[in-house]
Amino acid sequence: MSVAVLAAVAIFFILVFRMLNVSSQPQKPLFFCKDKQFLNRVLKFAPQLEEPYVPTRLWGFSGHVQTILYSVFGRVRCPCPKGDRKFLMIDDGTTLTYDLFKPTFYEPELEDITVVVVPGICNSSESDYIRTFVNYTQNQGYRCAVLNHVGALHNVPVTASRIFTYGHTDDLHLMLCNLSEHYPSTKIIIIGYSMGGNLVTKYLGELRETRPISVIAGISICQPYDALKATGVLLNWQNFRRLYLYALTEAIKALILKHRSKLLTDDIKEKYSLNEKDIISAATLPELDDAYTRKVNNFKNLHEFYQWSSCLYYINNVKIPMIFINSRDDPLVPEDLLIPIKNFAKSKDNVLYMELMHGGHLGFFEGGFMYPNPIAWLDRTLVSLIPGLKEHCGDDMKKTAVY
């Protein structure tokens, strides 16, 4: 073998090793929390958080690989939990659905807890990572309810002239109200993934006249917090972000075109001044939002729409305990977007921000050399956070009663 060939092989492996970041080591999560009592309560019930997160050795230290594998495969050995689909007819004609999953066992001493799951963009209860988490949560004795974003289910048609969007929280509110009616004694913890994390945080910070008192805490995972800044960042080619933006754009566009018989009728196009050619040709999310989403949501421009959509502009009004989780190697959410949430967690009680060095965007695969454990670090961690949140909220309610 010639020296040139050996050199080319060596360069190839060097590039692969750099891309996979194999020289990196497992690290402990970093915590940003003004309220030390809250942090200690969480760690009491989730002591594994004080241990390093160990990604899959061969490829788990690469945020890109974690993100791509999550988006393509979801999770390994994905189960199929059986649930009941609930249908809610809304005044605007929308068919809203959520799936309800009962715990696989009942412990009389366990308090009635319902874990409400708000999936990421274009996702639903049928997404692999949601099914895996639901199954694991059921097996720990908790009831689960998963919001299906309007338009995301394959076998549920769109019955009104809208699908989900980043800042529309009314669907979540109606689901929570319906759950509270059917389970008046339950306590609800809401968990949101990516866009779902934004919806959860925005909903809890909105100044609504009523909100179910059964909602005691929220958890947000891998969200960017500010759509105004996030879309600008994703337009850059740095760290291949433009490619991820393209994938998101095509996913939303595919849903719009799939339901075009309801979303793009002649009456709807005339009412909102929609140009179908502009929607089809949109190459980036801002282009698609400018051609379609902000118009059907009655916003004059993208700046106004993105500001309305972003939880960062509502977060100061959140009253119940919140935990935020992000990874530093998330290719969709660069570190600059995490500064506001760090500062927020360091300035307000009952708020914890947890930052991991690795994990990518919603990946957090764990263990093994090449083949990861069936249960991801994220699933284990989320379930372990529930008892601490429940106990902390219980103590807060006792203090309120005393005073």
pLDDT beyond 80 at 230: yes
Q: pLDDT (tens digit, 9 = 90+) per residue, 182-192?
A: 999 999 999 99
Q: Identify the helix (H) or strand (E) that includes residue 89.
A: strand 84-89
Among 171, 226, 290, 330, the active-site one is 330
pLDDT value at position 109?
Answer: 63
Give me the catalytic one of 259, 361, 379, 392. Answer: 361
Per-residue model confidence as pLDDT tens digits over 345-360: 999 999 999 999 999 9
Say which residue, 387 or 21, is predicted with more confidence.
387
Every domain of the chain and the residues it spans:
27-226+322-401, 229-309
> Which position has the higher pLDDT, 179 or 241?
179
Sign of the alpha-carbon dihedral angle for 231, 233, 236, 238: negative
In this predicted structure, the answer to whether residue 403 has a pLDDT above a threshold of 90 is no
Q: What is the structure's pLDDT at 5?
A: 42
**Long-range Cβ contact pairs of 232-241 (< 8 A, separation 24 or more):** 233/334, 233/336, 233/337, 234/285, 234/332, 235/284, 235/286, 239/331, 239/334, 240/64, 240/331, 241/331, 241/332, 241/334
- What is the helix (H) or strand (E) element at residue 86, kind and residue range? strand 84-89
**Res. 232 pLDDT band, cuts 50 70 90:** confident
- For domain 27-226+322-401, give the fold: Rossmann fold (3.40.50)
Q: E strands of 199-350, at which residues?
A: 215-221, 322-327
For residue 344, what pLDDT is reported? 97
Q: How confident is the model at residue 107 (pLDDT cuts 50, 70, 90)?
A: confident
For 27, the token pair is: 């690290």
List phi, psi (to 5°) of 223. Answer: -100, 160
pLDDT of residue 8: 46
Q: Which residues pair with 289 in a beta bridge?
A: none
Q: Which of 125, 127, 194, 220 is catalytic?
A: 194
Given a cut of 70, is residue 6 above it in pLDDT?
A: no
User: Closest Cα partner for 218 from 362, 117, 70?
Assistant: 117
pLDDT 10s digits, 122-165: 999 999 999 999 999 999 999 999 999 999 999 999 999 999 99
Left (φ > 0), alpha (ψ -120 to 50) or beta: where does 171 sit?
A: alpha
Residue 393: what pLDDT?
85
**pLDDT higher than 90, residue 271:** yes
What pLDDT, in 10s, does the model give residues 304-323?
999 999 999 999 999 999 99
Q: Is 361 a catalytic residue?
A: yes
Query: What percentage of residues in the chain have a pLDDT greater than 70?
Result: 91
Identify whether 23 is a catalytic site residue. Answer: no
Q: Which of 35-44, 74-83, 112-121 has the lowest mean pLDDT?
A: 74-83
Per-residue pLDDT averaged across 197-215, rounded? 95
User: Which position has the higher pLDDT, 389 or 234?
Assistant: 389
Query: Where is pLDDT greater, at 233 or 33?
Result: 33
pTM above 0.85, yes or no: yes
The predicted pLDDT at position 397 comes to: 52
pLDDT score, position 402: 32
pLDDT at 289: 97
> pLDDT-derived band of residue 13, with 50, 70 and 90 as boundaries?
very low
- Categorize the per-residue pLDDT at 193 as very low, low, confident or very high, splitting at 50, 70 and 90: very high
pLDDT tens sequence across 325-337: 999 999 999 999 9
Is residue 133 a contact partner of residue 117, using CB atoms and an 8 Å limit? Answer: yes
Which pLDDT belongs to residue 12? 42
Mean pLDDT value across the chain: 91
What is the mean pLDDT of the segment spanning 274-286?
96
pLDDT of the residue at 392: 87
pLDDT band at 23 (very low <50, low <70, confident <90, very high): low
Q: Are 167 and 296 in contact (CB under 8 A)?
A: no
Task: Verify whether residue 62 is a known catalytic residue.
Answer: no
Q: 107-124 burial by CB neighbour count: b if 16+ within 10 A, else e?
A: eeeeeebbbbbbbbbbbb
**CA angle (401 as vertex; 397, 403 as ends), nearest 5:** 120
Averaged pLDDT, 78-98: 95
